Amino acid sequence: MIYISYLYDNLASIKPAGDWLKIYFKDSKRGKKYFILFNRSSSNGSFISCRFLKTGCNYGLDIKFSDGNLNIFCRNRKSLEFLKFKVEHFFKASVFYSKKNNFYVSNIKSKNKRSKVFVKREVSSNNKF
């Protein structure tokens, strides 16, 4: 299954929040939109790769999971280059230590590790149905 995004103007921010990676895009016509990528679930496909798509006039990024792809399109190539770097770092981070809880959490790419993709839109007052 392939999830295709709208065409965005620029990347606004990327905020890691524990197991979540929130990706905010700024779109001047439709308000702020965001994606949420989640990587520590055993019920969905595992992260495989992140690569650029060849498009005619805009830029695309293909985030590939074992159970589907997420294609994100943006007018700004630098936004997608930064997003690619952050997504790969988030999903392939080796090991981190939590001093607060005194435990190790591993996020190494393997056959047993699963990933989940959530696509969410914020509705602004500018949207009309």
Q: Does a structural domain hold residue 108?
A: yes
pTM of the model: 0.64
43 CB burial (10 A radius; 0-12, 13-18, 19+) = exposed
Residue 51 binned pLDDT confidence (cut-offs 50, 70, 90):
very high
Q: Does a structural domain hold residue 126?
A: no
Number of domains in the chain: 1
Q: Does a structural domain hold residue 72?
A: yes
- CA-to-CA distance for 95 and 104, rounded, in angstroms? 7
Can you give the residue range of the structural domain that contains 50?
2-120
Q: Does a structural domain hold residue 106?
A: yes
Express each pLDDT in 92-126 by its tens digit.
Answer: 773 342 333 444 344 434 444 455 555 554 545 55
- CA-to-CA distance for 47 and 29, rounded, in angstroms? 32
